């Protein structure tokens, strides 16, 4: 296994994911995650930042592992396609389950969340793919 390649690509992907998450969910679509359940979402001041950083690093490492170990991805376009595909399926699986079993989403907010997460993962995958293929 090419551990160093995965770790560096995963770290870069995690940083990109962190800032894309801030851009998408904090600035462009802030109301998307306004869950209509009292106390469900923490106020920004109470967020656990180490866990947010860990989540994004794990996302970057997850994509980097797939790209290096299983898919041999080394271009930004193949990274974007693979990232978007993985992001679509993961968000669609969780969001449809949450929609079925909770009041967390309306149908419209669920569909928007799937699209936004697909774009988020595609852009993160594009950067990781670019990094892996650079000369």
Half-sphere exposure in the Cβ direction for 18 (13 Å, CA): 17
SS3 string of 101-115? HCCCCCHHHHHHHHH
Span 87-123, pLDDT tens digits: 999 999 999 999 999 888 889 989 999 999 999 999 9
Residue 106 to residue 75: CA distance in whole angstroms:
36
Residue pair 127/13 in contact by the 8 Å Cβ criterion: yes
| pTM metric for this prediction | 0.92
Residue 4 to residue 85: CA distance in whole angstroms:
25
Span 61-94, pLDDT tens digits: 999 999 999 999 999 999 999 999 999 999 999 9
């Amino acid at each position: 296994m090419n551990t160093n390649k995965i770790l560096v690509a995963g770290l870069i992907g995690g940083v990109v994911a962190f800032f894309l998450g801030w851009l998408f969910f904090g600035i462009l679509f802030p109301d998307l995650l306004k869950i209509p359940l009292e106390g469900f979402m923490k106020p920004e001041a109470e967020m656990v930042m180490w866990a947010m950083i860990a989540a994004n690093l794990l996302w970057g490492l997850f994509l980097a592992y797939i790209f290096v170990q299983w898919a041999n991805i080394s271009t930004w376009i193949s990274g974007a396609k693979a990232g978007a595909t993985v992001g679509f399926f993961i968000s669609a699986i969780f969001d449809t389950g949450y929609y079925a079993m909770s009041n967390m989403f309306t149908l419209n907010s669920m569909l928007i969340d799937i699209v936004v997460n697909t774009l988020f993962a595609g852009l993160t995958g594009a950067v990781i793919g670019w990094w892996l293929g650079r000369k």
